């Protein structure tokens, strides 16, 4: 059973002895909630950061051996653990830890766990363990349709829309299901645990909706899929669109979408935001709009989206995707805009792979990057997550569902090169994405579903640099995917060398984030 009790400010001698032998016993007066709280914080003196917390981790316990971090957070005498992951470098937790899993949930996190009667033990040898990747923006209806009916010769957003419009006239329900299902297998193997996919409701028969609803249900045990009712041809611009979007929501689509910059006029774009946000408020749904995917600095629909979010009390339930016009906006206006977004708690979803490809096509030189202002939004307290957007379709001919590739591109384009930025880049494809999607019980914490990915890397920086193999992908305590560790064998004369593309920096001033640590 899990033990909950009051936490005293000081520890007895007996408790200190227990702490030194966490593998043998549990201090019974520690609540799991507070123990997890301590495990996920960097500071040792918690009362300084969170005055309401009654725990004081005094100087008697250095951070590396802090009693709260070394406690066995599990007390079960009625069952054995099904799985223990040993020697895990957990994202944003210092040191190596063992993770105990039973009945599909995390039941223990400690530097060392007892291994008696454990059904399976996986020693990952200090490799990097992260929550499942979250793809905050994707299009499953168009995925893997590259070259049908033709390729995008200009590489522009508008030609991509034109090609997709022609393809919609010939697509079948079974064809969408086959392509989307095939891609979902890629996503699972890459460690993606959740995808928010926009589904085009401009197609008159809603074949796209029917197909992706079936895919969502079939993938449910392995992959969380959220569907957004996306009026690709414009909510007010296309005939019959208002009725089709409502019908898609009635069929079970999760989220209200929009494309205000795709309407005929700025005024129509503003009106579409009002109407769509009101639909979401009435139905109790979230909103995720393609917003200002343009190089035009006067495309400012995000301002209206933040306003309607605030007016209707949709705080924390609305996302603006792309926001590329912000790249070209006047910085003074952006400073106002960021405060409005933060006030309304609007999530921002950047799509670096697709926007570095599509934007700036009308520029000569210098060419704009087109990516939205990620560092500035993060500094303003706005939740920013990332999406892959497209894979092998009319807009993007490349891709393989690798969210580390997405994050790496954002790292480069945003020039977020400081050591601490590597952890933030992992956050944007994990925790931040979970916030955007509103996922419950997400993350590496006791009591949460045992969902995680083991990467062949030692740190966030190394994961971004190498984009390494996913050694294990686990959902609800079940291993869904395994990939052998990568190495190259060099035969140089009489010598053979194993190459893993890692390097340990030995200079004392080098950041530990960039050290391979083994």
DSSP state for residue 28 in the 8-state scheme: T
3-state secondary structure 322-357: ECHHHHCCCHHHHHHHHHHHHHHCCEEEECHHHHHH
Q: What share of the chain is helix, strand, coil (3-state, %, to 5)?
A: 35, 20, 45
Q: Which run of H or of E encompasses 320?
A: strand 318-322
From residue 94, give the alpha-carbon distance in Å to each of 44, 393, 495: 12, 41, 37
Q: Which run of H or of E encompasses 464?
A: helix 460-466
Q: What is the DSSP string of 385-440?
A: EE--B-SSSSS-S---S-HHHHHHHHHHHHT--SHHHHHHHHHHTTHHHHHHHT-S
The residues with which 200 forms a beta bridge, in sequence order, are 230
From residue 376, give the alpha-carbon distance in Å to each of 3, 342, 383, 392: 43, 11, 11, 31
Sign of CA dihedral 397, 399, 403, 405: negative
Alpha-carbon distance of 459 to 452, in angstroms, equals 15
Note the Cα 350 to chain centre separation in Å.
Answer: 11
Tally of CB atoms within 10 A around 444: 24
Of 203, 293, 405, 462, the catalytic one is 293
Catalytic, 210? Answer no
Evaluate whether 465 touches 421 at the Cβ level (below 8 Å): no
Strand, helix or coil for residue 129: strand
Kindly report each contact of residues 369-372 with a partner whose C-beta sits within 8 Å and lies 24 or more positions away, as own/partner: 369/327, 369/413, 370/295, 370/324, 370/327, 371/324, 371/327, 371/410, 371/413, 371/414, 372/322, 372/323, 372/324, 372/326, 372/327, 372/348
Residue 370 burial by Cβ neighbours in a 10 Å radius (0-12, 13-18, 19+): buried
Evaluate whether 300 touches 325 at the Cβ level (below 8 Å): yes
Ramachandran class of 508: left when φ > 0, alpha when ψ lies in -120 to 50, beta otherwise:
alpha
Q: Which positions are catalytic?
A: 293
């Amino acid at each position: 059973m899990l033990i909950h009790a009051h936490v005293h400010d000081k520890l007895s001698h007996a408790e200190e002895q227990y702490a030194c032998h966490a593998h043998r016993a549990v201090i019974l007066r520690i609540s799991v909630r507070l123990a997890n709280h301590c495990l996920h914080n960097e500071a040792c003196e918690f009362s300084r950061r969170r005055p309401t917390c009654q725990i004081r981790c005094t100087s008697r316990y250095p951070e590396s051996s802090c009693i709260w971090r070394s406690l066995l957070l599990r007390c079960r005498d009625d069952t054995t653990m099904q799985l223990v992951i040993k020697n895990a470098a957990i994202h944003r937790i210092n040191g190596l830890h063992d993770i105990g899993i039973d009945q599909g949930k995390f039941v223990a996190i400690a530097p060392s766990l007892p291994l008696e009667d454990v059904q399976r033990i996986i020693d990952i040898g200090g490799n990097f363990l992260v929550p499942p990747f979250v793809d905050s923006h994707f299009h499953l209806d168009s995925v893997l349709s590259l070259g049908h009916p033709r390729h995008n010769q200009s590489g522009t957003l508008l030609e991509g829309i034109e090609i997709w419009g022609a393809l919609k006239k010939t697509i079948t329900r079974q064809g969408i299901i086959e392509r989307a299902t095939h891609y979902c297998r890629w996503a699972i193997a890459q460690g993606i645990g959740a995808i928010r996919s926009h589904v085009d409701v401009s197609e008159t028969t809603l074949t796209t909706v029917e197909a992706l609803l079936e895919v969502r249900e079939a993938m449910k045990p392995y992959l969380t899929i959220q569907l957004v009712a996306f009026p690709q041809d414009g909510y007010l611009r296309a005939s019959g669109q208002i009725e089709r979007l409502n019908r898609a929501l009635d069929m079970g689509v999760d989220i209200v979408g929009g494309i205000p910059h795709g309407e005929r006029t700025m005024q129509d774009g503003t009106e579409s935001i009002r109407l769509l946000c009101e639909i979401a408020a009435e139905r109790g749904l979230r909103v995720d709009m393609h917003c200002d995917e343009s190089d035009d600095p006067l495309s400012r629909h995000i301002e209206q989206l933040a306003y309607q979010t605030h007016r209707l009390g949709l705080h924390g339930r609305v996302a603006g995707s792309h926001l590329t016009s912000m790249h070209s906006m006047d910085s003074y206006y952006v400073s106002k805009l960021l405060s409005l977004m933060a006030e309304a708690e609007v999530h921002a979803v950047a799509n670096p792979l697709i926007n570095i490809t599509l934007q700036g096509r009308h520029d000569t030189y210098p060419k704009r990057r087109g990516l939205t202002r990620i560092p500035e939004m993060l500094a303003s307290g706005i939740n920013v997550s990332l999406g892959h957007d497209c894979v092998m379709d009319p807009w993007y001919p490349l891709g393989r569902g690798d969210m580390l590739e997405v994050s790496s591109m954002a790292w480069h384009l945003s020039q977020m090169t400081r050591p601490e930025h590597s952890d933030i880049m992992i956050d944007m494809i994990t925790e931040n994405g979970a916030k955007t999607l509103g996922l419950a019980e997400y993350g590496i914490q006791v009591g949460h579903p045992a969902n995680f990915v083991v990467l062949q890397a030692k740190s966030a920086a190394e994961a971004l640099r190498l984009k390494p193999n996913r050694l294990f992908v686990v959902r609800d305590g079940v291993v869904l995917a395994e990939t052998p560790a990568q190495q190259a064998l060099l035969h140089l004369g009489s010598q053979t060398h194993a190459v893993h593309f890692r390097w340990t920096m030995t200079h004392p001033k080098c950041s530990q984030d960039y050290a391979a640590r083994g």
